[in-house]
A and B are shown apart, each in its own frame.
Chain A
Amino acid sequence: MNTRLATTLAATTLVVLVAAGCGGSGGAEAITADGSSTVGPFVTKAAEDFKAAEDVDVTVGISGTGGGFERFCAGETDLSNASRPIDEDERTLCADGGVEYIEFRVVTDALTNVVNSANDWATCLSVAQLNAIWEPGSKVTSWNQVDPSFPDQPLKLYGAGTDSGTFDYFTGAINGEEGASRSDFSATEDDNVTVRGVSGDRGALGYFGFSYFEENQSTLKALEVDGGDGCVAPSIETAQDESYAPLSRPLFVYVKQSSFDENEDVRNFVKFMLDNNESVATAAQFVPLSQEQVAEQIAKYEGAST
């Protein structure tokens, strides 16, 4: 009686396991991508459309630009998504790991500063003001310290984690040095956490890629930035013509040379992202490349394919 029970359980388990081993339509090696959580949604959308078109699987992780490079240079991934160019240390890492790569600019971003939609006092901040808020050792804890005309509302900061390319780019552009930032803010590689944080607190201020703002316009408000030529609001146009300064930035996908050469699917996926740039970017709420930028990248692609 009891042995029958045990046998039944064991048999069921084995059946499920065998099904796991044999099953799965996504058989052939999936293309692996990892890296920036800013670029992530774009590559994910491209992967979805690519799967529908060519039935090839792409997995997308969001370890952050830095984390992505670590894996990429260890040879673990085919593609590395980055919201800033590869830096010196990472170049060395890749060289040490024997990983060669091709850099593709796939989409543009307008790094957006957001506040809660109930924030009715701030509309535009200058780079100097942002710097005062975010610099290392900053003691700014309340809005009226940013601008005396603002109310005395506690300033709650949310931002990108240090493994994030967004962090590197933002600190470089606003604080003058990549990585230089105050540390007493809610830092996360996952921009959704920042969205939630800022939309939940009247006095909150945060920053992330434009697409995250576009997705959440009902609870967030984007601030205009004065980079020296007056207040400019982030938008597709101002990002493309780079009048939204200094926070419009290119976003990249780095492709492992060996994957590019040996795996036709990888080549096709890269081509797909370039050919369908406008539709994918718009759907994922990114700033698409301009015509000439696309042409540039395609030329690069052709060059690498020979």
Chain B
Amino acid sequence: MTLVEHERPHEEPTPESSRESRAWRNRLFKAAMLFSMLVAFGTLVVLLVDTIVTGWPAIEWKLFSDPPSTLPEEAGGRPAILATLYLGALVLLLSVPIGVLTAIYLEEYANRERWWNRFIEVNIQNLAAVPSIVYGILGLAFIVRGIGVGRVVFAGGLILTLVVLPTVVVASREAIRSVPDSIRQGAFALGATKWQVVWRQVLPAAIPGMATGSILALSRAVGETAPLIMVGAITYVAFDPELFGAYTALPVQIYNWTKQPDPEFQTLAAAGALVLLVIVLTMNAVAIFLRNRYRRQW
């Protein structure tokens, strides 16, 4: 038996230059990635700083207590801020039950074989992609005119609910899916009916995920402007909003103030934007806190 000797090909050590260029390319690549991060966060910082600096002079009690006015010195955002809060409450009250129930249906009850269930699923996916202004058109045609409710807070709330419903459904489905099957099977084994399993085992376990998703959807609803413009959140509303009364919401008020070229209204717009940001970011912070605090390890 002879050992066949293979000529080990003489290995050239990697030339200095190629190694260096590789190192450089890597550094450049990393820098490019860092640059991306910088742009994203830099813009955020600049936006926040600019808004705070511009809007700070107008942050005073008046902003929260007074109605808007043609004179910027006297203008406040009280009706708008109140309306935004009410709209948010409406959206929460309507979208969460419907969204959660839909999610339960799709995850626990729907037979995937049936075409109508698949249709519902695809449908929800598509609805999530529809621009919010199209919901505004829908709202105008059916809710304001169709049912004849008119340009009232309730109509605005209904439309915003429809806008965020797909988001709530998707988030709730994720939450339900993350509940391990063993929990369900255990309950079934003990003789529980389907609804008992869902109501007493699956739902309680999925609540944190649902809460997070709902609050995130809510924060989006609160910041929406386009659909509300379409359903008549009027320019000048000087009184506190009521469920079935005329209204204007904070984003719409900001939009109106932004359009005014008078620099004093710019300050007001920035102040309004600050208030809106605070509301939205607080909601997000709460959602993130919930998510982290209640995260279960199965």
Mark A residues whose CB is within 8 Å of B.
Answer: 2-3, 5-6, 9, 13-14, 16-17, 20-21, 23-27, 30, 32, 34, 40-41, 44-45, 47-48, 51, 57-62, 190, 192-193, 195-196, 199, 215-216, 219, 284
Q: Which residues of A contact B208 (CB under 8 A)?
A: 2, 5
9 nearest CB pairs, A to B: A26-B239, A20-B86, A16-B89, A24-B240, A2-B207, A60-B236, A24-B242, A195-B261, A57-B239
Q: Which residues of A contact B204 (CB under 8 A)?
A: 2-3
Report the nearest B residue to A19, measured CB to CB: B86
Q: Which residues of A contact B246 (CB under 8 A)?
A: 30, 32, 59
Contact in complex: B70, A45 (CB < 8 Å): yes
Contact in complex: A13, B93 (CB < 8 Å): yes
Q: How far is the CB of A10 from chain B (nearest CB, A)?
A: 8
Q: Which residues of B contact A215 (CB under 8 A)?
A: 262
Q: How far is the CB of A260 from chain B (nearest CB, A)?
A: 20
Q: Which residues of B contact A27 (CB under 8 A)?
A: 242
Report the nearest B residue to A74, measured CB to CB: B145
Q: How far is the CB of B145 from chain A (nearest CB, A)?
A: 10
Could you list 5 examples of A-B contacts with CB < 8 Å? A5-B208, A23-B240, A24-B241, A47-B238, A59-B237
Q: Which residues of A contact B280 (CB under 8 A)?
A: none
Q: How far is the CA of A13 from the CA of B214 in the complex (A)?
A: 12
Contact in complex: A26, B211 (CB < 8 Å): no
Q: Which residues of B contact A51 (CB under 8 A)?
A: 238
Q: How far is the CB of B286 from chain A (nearest CB, A)?
A: 10
CB contact under 8 A between A6 and B89, given known A32-B246, A60-B236: no
Cβ proximity bits B233-260 to A, threshold 8 Å, 1 near / 0 not:
0111111111101100000000000011
Q: How far is the CA of A219 from the CA of B294 in the complex (A)?
A: 56
Contact in complex: A192, B211 (CB < 8 Å): no
Contact in complex: A21, B242 (CB < 8 Å): yes
Contact in complex: A26, B242 (CB < 8 Å): yes
Cβ proximity bits B80-113 to A, threshold 8 Å, 1 near / 0 not:
0010011011101100000000000000000000
Q: How far is the CA of A227 from the CA of B294 in the complex (A)?
A: 75
Q: Which residues of B contact A32 (CB under 8 A)?
A: 246
Q: How far is the CA of A20 from the CA of B88 in the complex (A)?
A: 11
Contact in complex: A6, B207 (CB < 8 Å): yes
Q: How far is the CB of A275 from chain B (nearest CB, A)?
A: 19
CB contact under 8 A between A13 and B92, given known A2-B208, A20-B86, A61-B235: yes
CB contact under 8 A between A196 and B239, given known A16-B85, A59-B246: no
Q: How far is the CA of A199 from the CA of B261 in the complex (A)?
A: 9
User: Which residue among A9, A13, A24, A51 has the maximum number of chain B CB atoms within 10 Å of its CB?
Assistant: A24
Report the nearest A residue to B218, measured CB to CB: A13
Contact in complex: A60, B235 (CB < 8 Å): yes
| A contact face: mostly helix, strand, loop, or mixed | helix
Q: Which residues of B contact A48 (CB under 8 A)?
A: 69-70, 238
Say which residue of B207, B238, B245 sits within 8 Å of A5 (CB atoms).
Answer: B207
Q: Which residues of B contact A196 (CB under 8 A)?
A: 259, 261
Contact in complex: A14, B93 (CB < 8 Å): yes
Report the nearest A residue to B247, measured CB to CB: A59
Q: How far is the CB of A276 from chain B (nearest CB, A)?
A: 15
Q: How far is the CB of B183 from chain A (nearest CB, A)?
A: 13
Q: How far is the CA of A12 from the CA of B263 in the complex (A)?
A: 38
Contact in complex: A23, B262 (CB < 8 Å): no
Contact in complex: A40, B235 (CB < 8 Å): yes
Say which residue of B90, B237, B240 sits within 8 Å of A17 (CB atoms).
Answer: B90
User: Which residue among A16, A25, A284 has the maximum number of chain B CB atoms within 10 Å of its CB?
Assistant: A16
Q: Which residues of A contact B262 (CB under 8 A)?
A: 215-216
Q: How far is the CB of A303 from chain B (nearest CB, A)?
A: 30
Contact in complex: B239, A24 (CB < 8 Å): yes
Report the nearest B residue to A41, measured CB to CB: B70
Contact in complex: B93, A193 (CB < 8 Å): no
Instruction: Indicate if B166 sits at the interface (CB-CB under 8 A).
Output: no
Q: How far is the CB of B102 from chain A (nearest CB, A)?
A: 17
Q: Which residues of A contact B234 (CB under 8 A)?
A: 34, 59-61
Contact in complex: A44, B211 (CB < 8 Å): no
Q: How far is the CA of A9 from the CA of B236 in the complex (A)?
A: 32
